[in-house]
Amino acid sequence: MNNEIIKFTDVSIGYGKKRILENIYFSILENDFIGIVGPNGSGKTTLLKTLLGNLRPLAGEVTRNKVQFGYVPQRDLVQPLLPYSVRDVVMMGRYSLMGTMSNPHKADEEIVDRCLSHVGIEDLKNHNYNRLSGGQRQRTLIARALAVQPKILILDEPTNGMDTPSHYSLLELISHLHDESSLTVLIVSHLLTDVANIVKRLILLERNHFQIGNIEDILSEDNLQKTYSSDFSVSKINGEYLISSKKKV
């Protein structure tokens, strides 16, 4: 049985006195692979901040079992950096552990090189980060998150704004990281089909309602229609989910 590494017990989340979700019970396990989906305003970002410890729960208890997070923010929210190389950006993950006044040791450099290789961009290590494509930047940010040697990798809208080849290549990379490294992975996305076809479990959020379960239990047409106020079609072709929606008139 996999060990619990994060547990929410009767948790309410929100800001100030404003509660977005209440009475949340769930656990994240070692080697878990969870998608977090839901319409805008449903609490995805608030749940993410609570998971990371950036927001305290308004009620209940969040317990963490010696968790080191690797967080990959939305790429478009990362401000243009000084003319740092790709390797410099990934090394920033190590600086978060060393402290700003420390210099990297050989072990830090080796970890950075391994992370670059792991995401397939070792040949770009001396390139200017600001001149990379969207897919290359995303891989750089993933490598930076991996450089902290996390127990949990959290990705916020990782495929947003990508062309189709980069989009699917990145999903393959995320699945590979989970399978090969036994990483616990959480992926937040508004793209239901993306998430459904790579994760093991889904968290589905709507205002004042929280669900977690296996893919087939969460992805019923009725369930999605109630959550998104849209007509949904859910089908499975050659083992892959195809989910489409049409806004109700």
149: pLDDT confidence band, cut at 50, 70 and 90? very high
Closest to 243 measured CA to CA, from 32, 45, 35: 35
CA distance 125 to 147: 14
Look up residue 147 and give its DSSP letter. Answer: T
CA distance 143 to 245: 34
Q: Do 243 and 224 form a contact (C-beta atoms < 8 A)? A: yes
248: pLDDT confidence band, cut at 50, 70 and 90? low
Closest to 45 measured CA to CA, from 6, 77, 4: 77
CA distance 20 to 11: 11
CA distance 151 to 67: 6
Summarize pLDDT for 35-52 with one digit per residue, the tens: 999 988 899 999 999 999
Look up residue 102 and give its DSSP letter. Answer: P
Could you give the C-alpha distances from 73 to 11, 14, 77, 96, 159, in angstroms and in order?
24, 20, 7, 15, 11
Question: Apex CA 243: angle with CA 135 and CA 213, to 5°?
Answer: 90
Position 147 pLDDT exceeds 90: yes
- Residue 20 burial (C-beta neighbours within 10 Å; 0-12, 13-18, 19+): buried
Check residue 161 and give its pLDDT.
84
Spatial neighbors of 75 by CB under 8 A, at least 6 apart, are 134, 137, 138, 141, 158, 160, 161
Summarize pLDDT for 112-143 with one digit per residue, the tens: 999 999 999 999 999 999 999 989 999 999 99
Position 60 pLDDT exceeds 90: yes
Phi, psi values for residue 96, rounded to 5°: -65, -20
- Mean of pLDDT over the chain: 90
Amino acid at 103: N
CA distance 185 to 87: 23
- Name the percent of the chain lying above pLDDT 90: 63
CA distance 173 to 170: 5
In this prediction the pTM is: 0.91
**Which residue has 């993950």 as its token pair?**
93
99: pLDDT confidence band, cut at 50, 70 and 90? low
Position 1 pLDDT exceeds 60: no
Summarize pLDDT for 219-235 with one digit per residue, the tens: 888 999 888 888 888 88
